[in-house]
Structure 1
């Protein structure tokens, strides 16, 4: 019936986590990022992804095939979020950006509206499409909250920022 494995097998992530290259490195986190992007934009037809791996397996995802993006503003397809809701993992940087875009002063629809005003083809998105971004963002954050409530923040939120180790002489010294 054309459904992807994520849509029909609620335990699919358990299998994916065991397979190289998803078992280590950023690949699974990048898939979750792509699923969030697809959900926000309403892209319901991503059936595969491409990787740029010229410099090794830890390349980056190419977001091709966005033909159905921003199609139906009135329909939110929760199955698109299956990688997030099944794997219950998200990059800390992604979560922080999403939380920021949910704040009134940085609302995703407002940021997009302002950005798209510069396009010579403006208006690019209709108001209902812009408002759908805000609604879908809340659904993403709700899915993350559910994961955190179930598994704990330490298991769900992956620290994808690495701070270089400071030399001993450069470290802050705390005095008591």
Structure 2
């Protein structure tokens, strides 16, 4: 979500294997500091959200879900990481990093709330068809 300025945010990208044609897959490459320092957030990463004040409804609903006690982002991530075979050797994320995820998510939600306080058309309803299905 956020990362320290010294965390080489520009190195995060993905590759595909063209050799497999349409049967390819994404391979996400990470330089090893994707989560930055747990003790330092980089608020500038939120600039696009602050400037545009637009967010998809489906994204906002997911963020709210991941901030709820039942599905807290740090707990979901911890559970997911526990399934990684390397977790028996060493933790991929420390507890402070997992707690930082929750703190950073709260910061994102605060920005959305500030946007909603200032503007009317912040949430883009990308779930119109889904909402219609629920009504039927």
TM category (shorter chain) comes to 0.7 to 0.9
Where is the helix percentage greater, Structure 1 or Structure 2?
Answer: 2
Helix, strand or coil at the partner of 1:80: helix
| 2:125 aligned residue | 159
RMSD: 2.8
CA distance in structure 1 between the partners assigned to 2:117 and 2:30 by the alignment: 32
TM-score, length-normalised on structure 1? 0.58
| 1:46 aligned residue | 10
CA distance change for structure 1 residues 48 and 104 in 2, over 3 Å: closer, same or farther? Answer: closer
Helix, strand or coil at the partner of 1:130: helix
| 1:27 aligned residue | none
Helix, strand or coil at the partner of 1:160: coil
Query: 1:43 Cα shift?
Result: 6.6
TM-score, length-normalised on structure 2? 0.73
Gap regions ≥5 residues in structure 1: 1-37, 53-61
| 2:59 aligned residue | 94
| 1:148 aligned residue | 116
Helix, strand or coil at the partner of 1:46: helix
Contact preservation (8 Å) 1:46, 1:66: no
Gap regions ≥5 residues in structure 2: 17-25
Aligned residues: 116
CA distance in structure 1 between the partners assigned to 2:118 and 2:65 by the alignment: 23
